[in-house]
Amino acid sequence: MGAVYFYHLTRGPLDQTLSVLLEKARGMGWRIAVRGCDPDRMSWLDDHLWMGNKDSFLPHGMQGGPHDALQPVLLTTGPEAANAPDCVMAIDGAAVAPEEVAAMQRVCVLFDGNDAEAVQHARGQWKDLTNSGCSAQYWSEESGRWEKKAEK
């Protein structure tokens, strides 16, 4: 059974934090689905991931391409991902189901700590997922480095 990790972003922008987490997940040998809600936002993220860290290459693709099943990282707006992911990284309030957490190695929920609505939504996700029996961790970068603040 997997676990869900909540990342409360207050210092670094989403694209930079996501790049670091994707590199770590790829280092574990995992295939990843990055799930968002808005196709335009996912296109923006696609561009930023291609222009990211000049010292590394993060292979990825947008859902709907001819090689979705082969992508180590697939950007999507729906619950299905053709790349058979080991890990889902949910951004911008994308939905996560308890069954997914159980089936994955890890689910990551990244949310903007400077957006009160995003914080409330993440709190609701935490409550729903932990009440369903999911193992969860809450990580904050408020101190300037990532620290685990809660675990359930």
- Please check the confidence at residue 89 and state whether its pLDDT lies above 70: yes
Reply yes or no on whether the pLDDT at 23 is more than 80: yes
Q: Place domain 3-151 in its CATH homologous superfamily.
A: DNA polymerase III subunit chi (3.40.50.10110)
Give residue 48's pLDDT.
81
Q: Give me the residue spans of the domains in the chain.
A: 3-151
Give the phi and the psi of residue 140 in degrees, each rounded to 5. -130, 145
Instruction: Quick: pLDDT tens for 110-143.
Output: 999 999 999 999 999 999 999 999 999 999 998 8
Confidence of residue 149 (pLDDT cuts 50, 70, 90): very high
pLDDT in tens, 29-74: 999 999 999 999 999 998 888 776 666 678 888 999 899 999 999 9
pLDDT of residue 99: 96
- pLDDT value for 137: 98
Q: Is 12's pLDDT higher than 80?
A: yes
139 forms bridges with which residues in the sheet? 7, 148
pLDDT at 73 (0 to 100): 96
Q: Which residue's structure tokens are 């707006």?
A: 77
Tokens encoding 108: 């990551």
Q: Which residue type is seen at 54?
A: K
The predicted structure's pLDDT at residue 142 = 87
Write down the pLDDT at residue 74.
95
Greater model confidence, 19 or 48: 19
> What's the Cα-to-Cα distance from 90 to each of 54, 112, 144, 151, rounded to whole Å?
24, 12, 23, 19
Q: How many CB atoms lie within 10 A of CB 84?
A: 9
